[in-house]
Each structure stands twice: as C-alpha cells, then as structure tokens.
Amino acid sequence: MAKEKSYGFKTPVRRTTKNISGNKVGGDLTGSESEIILAKRLHLEGNYSAEFLIPKSEAIGLFNSTIAIAAIGGYFISNKNIEIVLSITINGISTKSQYALNKGHFEAIGHDFEVDLLTEFENANAKIEFILTEPAIVEYTHFSKGFISKEELVLSEDAYKHYSNSKKRICFPEQFYFNENILINGSNKGSLIFTKSCNRCQRYLPINPYNQRQQLAFSNHCTTKAPCTHNGFSIYEVISKEVDDKIILNSFTNEFDKGYLYNGNTIKSYFGHQLECKACKKFFVNAALNHLRSSSQHREDALRRRAFELLSCNLLGLKWVYHEFREKTGLEFDKFIYDKFGKKCFKCDNPIANANEMHLDHTMPLSHLYPLDETATCLCAGCNLAKSDIFPVDFYPEEKLKTLSAITGIPIEIISSRTPNEKALIKLKENVKWVVEDFLTHPEYIKERDGKIAADSILHSIQKAINNSPNSYNLLEEYDKIKGLIS
Ligand SMILES: [Zn+2]
Ligand SMILES: [Zn+2]
Ligand SMILES: [Zn+2]
C-alpha cells in the first residue's frame, strides 16, 4: 500500500516553544532517588518585587479546549514572618494570590491565570512581591513561571475538573509541571535542601528537610504507622550532591528534621513519601487519567479531535462551550444538557445517575467540523461509543430524529443530512493560508510522535470532511500551492 504523502511538518515555520510536557513519562526514575542541592537565597532589606515575562507564544490550549493557563510559583522559606504576593497580568487584568510565610516554615506557593486563546491577548506579566516589616533572608527552590503545557492536561477534558477544583492550592506549584529553577534578581547560593524523584513525571522535586510533616511536593507515606518500613518509599538513593559530605552530615546532625538519616549514599525518611509527586498523584492516580499515557493511538485520536474542536471554534468565531456557557448563564454546561434530556440516555432511554456519568455527544459529528455546543446529546457510555463520529441519520430511527431535532434545535433538514458544517467550510476556504501557516504549525501538531506528524493526519481528515460537501474543493492542493510545492 502506498504511504500517505507527508506534508513535511517536521520543519516548524513559525513559533518555537519548549517541548510539550517539559517532563518525560515512563523514564528510569523510580521515586526513590534524591539529589542534594542548594536553595537560592535573597537578602531583603525591605519590600522587594521582581517581574517576569511569560511570552504569549508559549500559550497552549489545555483540557482539549482553548483555555491556556499562565502560572508562577515555587517553594519558599524565610527567617522572618513575611508575606509573598504572586500576581499575573494579562491585557491589564491582574489576579493575585497572597501568602503569609511564617518564619522557619517551608511553603509551596503558586498562582495561575486562565486565558482563552480565542480572545486577543498580550504577553502575560508575572510578578512576585515580598512584603516585610524587617530585613529577612528568604530561600527558595524550583521557582518558575510559564504557560502550563503538560501533555496529558492538553489532551484531557476531564482534567479540567481536577485542575480547577477548590482544593487546587494543596498542589501548588507542582501541578504547573514546570521543572525550572529561575533566579529572582540578586539571589545567590543558600542552604542545603533535598529533592526526590517522582516516578511518573520524572522530575526531582523538593521534600521538606526541616519538617517532614509539612509536606512539599510529596505526601507522606506512613503517618499513623510510622516509621515507614516500605523501602522504596522511605529510602532514597542520593544520585548527586552539590556540596561535600562533611557539610551534608553536619546539616543532618544540626539542622535537618531528626526523622531523616543519612549514610553518605542514602537518605532514610521516618514517614516516607509517596512515589508520585502530589500533582501526579492527583491527576494520574486518584483522578484515573492514567489511560492518557497508555496508547499512542488514543493520544493521536485525542489530538486530532482537539484540533478539530479548535479549528471549528476558530473558524466559526466561537469560544469553548464550557467556559462560554458558564459566563453567559452561570450554569454548568454538562448539567444543562443532562437536565434537558431528562437525565437519561437519548438513544436507549436508560436513566443516567448524574451529569458526571453522562457522555456528551456532539450530535452532528466533530469530524465534519461541528464543534461541541448547546446542541449536544446526552448519551450513556455504551451508546456514545456506538455513536462515535457518525451522523444522527445513520444512528437514530426517523421518529427519534424528529424528537432530537426538537430538543436540540437543529433543523430537521440538517439533522437528517450527511453534509459537513457548511459555515465552517466556507470560512475554511477563506482562511486556507491561516490554516496552513498558522493553525497547523502549532508545536503540538508538528511534533513527531511514533514517526507520525499529527498535522498530516489532521489535514487529511479535514479533506475527508470537505469531500462530503456539495461544494467540495481540494485543500491538499491549496496546501501545496501555499507551500510552493506546486506552482
Ligand atoms: Zn510527578
Ligand atoms: Zn510506608
Ligand atoms: Zn444509552
């Protein structure tokens, strides 16, 4: 069989950005490795602030939507009681989080700002302010800023619920999935601290050397049954150290939590820590988003679906329906559709226990450029799987089609047709250059995964949809023209 033509997306023509996740998945780290590092230190005489640019070009839609999140955060400790204010400003709108840092207490702090990629916006500006009443020495580690780009969060709609729930601060800043340690102006080398690996995101993140029960990036393993006797959870092999052993041993004798032991090669922790960082635990263990890493086929499908959702929203000038709906009506979109369909599956009529168990179907298929909107159908898991990406006319008997037209407001002639979204197709034709040069060159589409470039398969899938239109045209040819492949 002839190989499908590759459209050469290997060469990004526009943006450059960090790789999508910033962190590997499934590497060698088991969660039982440690690095002994130096914190960074700031000598502050009075109030002090520093600003950081978060370039718009790094913004990427998360949760299979057009929502991007700018964030800033890190782990801080001070020798005096101080306050730290983290803020982010986009288009003149500022949001902030304020933290009281009690002396001698290591704290994880962070702040984030959601922005819709379909709105015009400027670069984000992040700011950290230290408010003090007397001079203080502040130490910090893993301080970072940026747009969140964790691959699984990019692909998963479900993750939004887990990301935005009210307890999110218990996971700041590790759920930003940054892995940098940027300098706040004027800082220098500080005290020893240690980090531990996360066996899922493969980052080294700090554990609190001064008090194990004030957890930083990892929760304790055994608390009521301490000491933790589970080796992997409580004994960490020291992979690297930034200073010599004498200083480290001295810290263990004089400064660090006496619940830690150090023998030159390993650190033993009294309470032990989880193998996954708090963010991985939250997203990929407790929230069971684990399937997202398992199959590359699944990931490819999810990417393509996401691209179609974004593309059709963009072309039609729509915003992400969840966001839009809440803004407009104050209601949750899921709940609205669930109630509208009488809390049961439209296809098989079986009751559905709650809105979370409902499967939202696009009604008219996404593969034909119909984005998710208020015309969605409430289905059970089984019926949604069966419906997949096919047209309603191929799935429901005629009577049901009429009812569905009445409930959703989709005109009967459209709901009984097998034609793609003509409005979107007209816009697509008008904006071919944008699709080719801008939309399809997004870093997540031109990244090679398992030898495939998502942009290639997206392009071919769009052409398939166009072919079903009475006004079909050759997008692939347009593409070649724009790329100068043919004259
Ligand atoms: Zn992790
Ligand atoms: Zn344990
Ligand atoms: Zn059903």
Query: What gap in Å lies between CA 254 and CA 230, rounded to an integer?
Result: 26
Residue 8 is predicted with a pLDDT of 38
Ligand nearest to the CA of 361: 3
Q: Is the pLDDT of residue 66 over 60?
A: yes
pLDDT of residue 22: 38
Neighbouring CB atoms inside 10 A of 356's CB total 11
Q: How far, in Å, is the centroid of ligand 3 from the Cα of 325?
A: 25
Strands (E), 169-279: 188-197, 204-207, 235-241, 260-262, 266-269
Res 294: pLDDT: 45
Which-ligand-closest: CA of 284? 1
Pairwise CA distance, residues 465 & 383, whole Å: 23
Q: 476: burial class by Cβ within 10 Å (0-12, 13-18, 19+)?
A: middle
Give the number of the ligand closest to the Cα of residue 269.
Answer: 2
* pLDDT (0 to 100) of residue 485: 61
Q: How far is the CA of 277 from the centre of ligand 1 (A)?
A: 4
pLDDT at 290: 53
Give residue 169's pLDDT.
Answer: 65
Of residues 168 and 477, more confidently modeled: 477
Tokens of 223: 């608390």
Q: Report percent pLDDT > 90 for the chain.
A: 55
Residue 263: the pLDDT is 93
Distance 337 CA to ligand 3 centre (A): 15
> What is the DSSP secondary-structure string of 118-141?
TS----EEEEEEEE-SS-EEEEEE
Confidence of residue 234 (pLDDT cuts 50, 70, 90): very high
Centre of ligand 3 from the C-alpha of residue 378, in Å: 9
Ligand positioned closest to the Cα atom of 396 = 3
Cβ contacts of 306 within 8 Å, gap of 6 or more = 61, 64, 154, 155
Give the tens place of pLDDT for each residue, 334-347: 899 999 999 999 99
Largest Cα–Cα distance in the chain?
82
**Bridging pattern class, strands 260-262 and 48-54:** unpaired
Distance from Cα 233 to the centre of ligand 2, integer Å: 6
Highest mean pLDDT, choosing among 91-105, 379-393, 442-456: 91-105
Distance 189 CA to ligand 1 centre (A): 26
Backbone angles phi, psi at 114, to 5 degrees: -90, 135
Tens digit of pLDDT for each residue in 239-283? 999 999 999 999 999 999 999 999 999 999 999 999 999 998 888
Using an 8 Å Cβ cutoff, are 138 and 95 in contact? no
Give the pLDDT score at 78.
96
- pLDDT over 90 at 291, yes or no: no
Q: Identify which of 13-17, 37-41, 148-152, 200-204 has the greatest average pLDDT.
A: 37-41
b/e per residue 34-66 (b: at least 16 CB within 10 A): bbbbbbbbbebeeebebebebebebbbbbbbbb
Ligand 2 centroid, distance to 302 Cα (angstroms): 37
Q: Say yes or no to pLDDT of 168 above 60.
A: no
Q: How many Å apart are CA 133 and CA 129, to the nearest integer?
A: 13
Alpha carbon distance 42, 24 (integer Å): 31
Q: Which of 179, 171, 124 is nearest to 150 (CA)?
A: 179
Q: Which residues surround ligand 3, an ion (CB under 5 A)?
A: 345, 347-348, 380, 383
Residues 6+ apart with CB under 8 A from 159: 62, 63, 152, 153, 283, 287, 289
Q: Which residue has the higher pLDDT, 3 or 233?
A: 233
Ligand that lies nearest to the alpha carbon of residue 384, given by its number in the listed order: 3
Ligand (nearest to CA of 223):
2
Q: Which of 43-52, 166-175, 383-392, 409-418 has the lowest mean pLDDT?
A: 166-175
**How remote is the CA of residue 366 from the centroid of ligand 3, in Å?**
20
Give the pLDDT of residue 405.
97
- Distance of CA 174 from the midpoint of ligand 1 (Å): 8
Q: Identify each DSSP E strand in 219-262 by its residue range.
A: 235-241, 260-262
Given a cut of 60, is residue 401 above it in pLDDT? yes
- Rounded to the nearest whole angstrom, what is the distance from the C-alpha of residue 319 to the centroid of ligand 3? 29
Q: Find the ligand nearest to 220 CA.
A: 2
Per the DSSP assignment, residues forming a β-bridge with 124 are 54
Q: Between 422 and 385, where is the model more confident?
A: 422
Whole-number Å distance between alpha carbons of 361 and 365 = 8
Least confident range from 17-21, 67-71, 271-275: namely: 17-21
